[in-house]
Amino acid sequence: MSKYNTLKGVADIYTPDIHIWHTIENTAKEVFALYGFNEIRIPIIEYTEVFTRSIGQSTDIVEKEMYTFNDRGGRSISLRPEGTASVVRCYVQNNLHTLPSPQKFYYNGAMFRYERPQKGRFRQFYQIGAEVFGSVSPMMDAEMLSMLNELLSRLKLNDTTLEINSIGCKQCRPSFRSAIQAFFLAKEEALCADCKVRLNNNPLRLLDCKNETCANIRNGHPNILDYICSGCKGHHKRVKELLNALGVSFVENPMIVRGLDYYTKTTFEVTTQHLGAQKAIIAGGRYDNLVEEFGGPAVPAIGFAIGMERMAELLRESYAGCQVSQKLYFAPLCEKAETMSLSLCEKLRVKGISVVCGEGDLSLKRHLKKADKLNVIFVIIIGEDEIVKGKATWRRLSDGQQGVIDIDTVEGYTSLIQGNTTR
């Protein structure tokens, strides 16, 4: 065993799990493209103020979880704990508001938070996120949720629940904040240490605490939908109408307040019952004031982030034992056959065919054993006899069926694969 191991809370991702990640990433890109999203690549490090300004000084992320350090110039730098703040910073810095609205972006990459590692939660974790700028319409909320529904459908993640809520706006949310604060003040002694701090700094987070005692004492708390203004109520009603029209199933959950300060109106989560306490695999909402807080114009926005580790965990069972099949494996039985096989492999790769070339000093038995471990569909056998006859022997590993093919005709190998691409 190596004396060098990964840091606590980070993980390597490799075969076969990497194939699940590729499936999620490629499917997301396909679906996002259908809805007009373009990729954006944001830095892993930012000035700390980018996050303290957007996420909020009183959130757990800023208070306890960010990886923050001073660089050689004495500037406070942080590894990004989430993606939205960096996308907004990019949007404002590069004057992207001057382009036609709405502007739609998606990103994919690592985030960092110093929190207790557990199933589905890491200190270096990965997210796929999407953000839309320039539309205040509830239609955009519904379209984004419909896009997520399509993504989940293509991934065959049907045992999930879309939960939605409205947390109001900066005009109506203060009254709800006061009501929540008053409700919990009477129960302050029973609150966990974190919630005692939240009671004054960020009382809405009391609804999001995972502590069992806190969860029990919040029964009967004020419902935010009783406090939001008529404009927010109208927005929320229209989102629900559109989701029903689109056939997107959802449930209302007034407990969804989200952990970040910048959210307004629509908030949502996609949850599952198969990951224990870490049940949310997608979360997001509307943030109509954040661009302006970054010094940009008053541009409304909405976005979400997908937790890659949690989504991959949900897909792992259905992908158990699956590997990406190599189409062809060339099994040369002598040095001359090795030279010929290597040349043929290069020609086939130019044609877009996945192929492995074995080494010329292996026996046929060892070639077949190696090909089987690589999940190969066809083995192409070339030895001295095959070279003399100008005919290679092919063998399908799934059933042992075999035949011959012209040894140097690339089209013949292509036809062979097209005739049977399953193992």
Residue 130 CB contacts under 8 Å (≥ 6 apart), including other chains: 32, 37, 104, 105, 106, 107, 144, 147, 303, 304
| Mean pLDDT of the residues in the chain | 91
Rounded distance, CA 174 to CA 184, Å? 16
| 62 dihedral zone (left: phi>0; alpha: psi -120 to 50; beta) | alpha
314 closest CA partner among 53, 7, 56, 17: 17
Spatial CB neighbours of 84, under 8 Å, sequence gap ≥ 6: 54, 129, 131, 260, 262, 287, 290, 303, 305
Quick one: pLDDT at residue 423?
A: 42
* Greater model confidence, 415 or 57: 415
Predicted local confidence at residue 16, as pLDDT = 84
Phi, psi of 61 (to 5 degrees): -60, -50
Domain with CATH 3.30.930.10 in the chain: 17-172+228-316
pLDDT digits (tens, 9 = 90+) for 358-377: 999 999 999 999 999 888 99
Residue tagged 């109506």 (tokens)? 172
Q: How confident is the model at residue 263 (pLDDT cuts 50, 70, 90)?
A: confident
Query: What is the pTM for the complete model shown?
Result: 0.87
> How confident is the model at residue 3, as a pLDDT?
82
- Answer whether residue 422 shows pLDDT above 60: no
Give the architecture (CATH level 2) of 17-172+228-316: 2-Layer Sandwich (3.30)
Cβ burial, residue 166 (10 Å; 0-12/13-18/19+): buried
What pLDDT does residue 211 have? 82
Give the type of residue at 2: S
pLDDT at 320 over 70: no
Cα distance between residue 260 and residue 328, in whole Å: 51
Cα dist from 314 to 32, 73, 271, whole Å: 21, 44, 11
Yes or no: say if 81 and 61 are a contact pair by the CB < 8 Å rule. yes
Q: Is the pLDDT of residue 216 over 90?
A: no
Where do you find CATH 3.40.50.800 in the chain? 326-419
What average pLDDT score do residues 80-103 get?
A: 96
pLDDT for residue 215 is more than 90: no
- 370 neighbors 388 (Cβ within 8 angstroms): no
What is the tens place of the pLDDT at every residue in 384-403?
999 999 999 999 999 999 99
Task: Express each pLDDT in 267-315 by its tens digit.
Answer: 999 999 888 766 899 999 999 999 999 999 999 999 999 999 999 999 9
Residue 38 confidence class, pLDDT cut points 50, 70, 90: very high
Residue 58: which pLDDT band, with cuts at 50, 70 and 90? low
Interaxial angle between packed helices 138-154 and 230-246, expressed in degrees from 0 to 180 and rounded to the nearest 10: 40
Return the minimum-mean-pLDDT range out of 10-19, 48-57, 107-116, 154-163.
48-57
Q: Answer for the pair 371, 354: CB distance below 8 angstroms, yes or no.
A: no
Query: Tokens 């809520």 correspond to what residue?
Result: 165
Write the CATH number of the domain with boundaries 326-419: 3.40.50.800
Would the pLDDT of 410 be above 50?
Answer: yes
Does the structure show a pLDDT above 50 at 123? yes
For residue 158, pLDDT beyond 50:
yes
Quote the pLDDT of residue 205.
81
Report d(CA 252, CA 256) in Å as an integer: 9
Q: In sequence order, what are the residues at sequence separation of 6 or more whose Cβ sits closer than 8 angstroms to the Cβ of residue 406?
A: 390, 391, 392, 412
Give the mean pLDDT of 413-418. 88
Mean pLDDT of 324-343: 91
